[in-house]
Amino acid sequence: GEPLAKALLDRARAAFDVGETASAAAAAEAALLVAQRLGLGAIEVSARIRLAIVADQRGAFGAGLAQLEQAEALTRRDGDRQRLASVLNNQAILNRRLGEYDRALELYRQSLEISAALGHQAGTATPLNNMGVLLYNRGDFRGALEHYARALALLPPGDDLVADTLLNIGLVHHSQGDLELAESYIRRSLAVSHELGVVNDLADSYLRLGEVLLAQGRREEALQELARAEQEATRLDDPLTLAELELLRGDVALQAGRTAEALELGVLALQRVRAVGAVENVGQALSRLARARLAAGQPEEARAAAAEAAGLLSELHNLEPVSYTHLRAHETVLDLVCRLLL
């Protein structure tokens, strides 16, 4: 009965934390069946939230939103405000993936208001951290850091969100050009993840560390981190991190004059992010592909890719983090595509 459903939920979370997404999905689905059969509304909501988190990891954003829509209806029916806050936060994450930034921001705010009213510190920290990501993607680095600092202040040291927030702070410092501070925060994030045994975000952390090391000219160290990132992303079947690895390798190839390789990697990355419908990543991939096509002497194809990227990025108001791979220091994707269109 209910103890079995709770045990299955615990198994799903534990499996997800160590990167076993298939096992996590199976356990969550089993918990969902038990909860539905016994009319355990709270457990059904938690199972649907877990299935949505797994769907996000796999790039199945629509499937995740479908789970959360049913979870939201249950929490509103039962007046379960704490779980409603969690549902809204996860809906916001998936809406952000799909480029619905205004909708995502509103959902984060609703989640934050509910958790704050309930005095739930961890529940308050989660949307604060995620709102920081949204601000960061829009180029508001100061606002992002303020949200991350507020989130950290609410979290106990053993909370796995600490690692995610430390990583996000590192990304801001990378974008601001402070590579040593960025490296310090990313390594702290990795240390927390390893200490807690939570590995589902390691692929992204290794990728970001590799980017920082490349920016510092520490190529051999960087390649080791990127190899770790690819291993983890492949094991997790994480399409977005794999696409970012392809784009990063394309940037390196382009800088080395290997234009054909850069084009191939750009096309692969674009196909990958289009397949999962990650709108916020498609614009980034298109802009990088436009750069490669321009270098390859394909001005018309470059303009077409840049025009599509500009349309997406203008709609999303999304700015790409500054990275060593950019052709011009502090040039955003939107700057780049506008220049290519001139």
At residue 339, the pLDDT reads 45
At residue 108, the pLDDT reads 93
At residue 43, the pLDDT reads 94
At residue 317, the pLDDT reads 52
Do 215 and 323 form a contact (C-beta atoms < 8 A)? yes
Of the listed ranges 225-234, 304-313, 329-338, the one predicted with least confidence = 329-338
At residue 313, the pLDDT reads 67
Look at residue 311 and tell me whether its pLDDT is greater than 90: no
Spell out a b/e string for 86-116, using b for 16 or more CB atoms within 10 Å of the CB, else e: bbbbbbbbbbbbbbbbeebbebbebbbebbb
At 9, list the tokens.
């939920």
State the chain's mean pLDDT as an integer. Answer: 87
- Distant-in-sequence, close-in-space partners of 207: CB < 8 Å, separation ≥ 6: 225, 226, 229, 233, 241, 244, 245, 248
Look at residue 250 and tell me whether its pLDDT is greater than 50: yes
Q: pTM, whole model, 2 decimals?
A: 0.79
Report percent pLDDT > 70 for the chain.
91
Q: What is the CB neighbour count within 10 angstroms for residue 22?
A: 12
Q: What is the mean pLDDT of residues 155-165?
A: 89
CA dist list (Å): 68 to 95, 175, 195, 238, 326: 11, 33, 31, 21, 37
> Cα–Cα distance between 107 and 113 in angstroms, integer?
10
Q: How confident is the model at residue 312 (pLDDT cuts 50, 70, 90)?
A: confident
Look at residue 338 and tell me whether its pLDDT is greater than 70: no
Of the listed ranges 101-110, 236-245, 297-306, 307-316, the one predicted with least confidence = 307-316
Q: What is the mean pLDDT of residues 79-94?
A: 94
pLDDT tens readout for residues 316-325: 554 333 232 3
Residue indicated by tokens 């310090």 = 184
Do 127 and 115 form a contact (C-beta atoms < 8 A)? yes
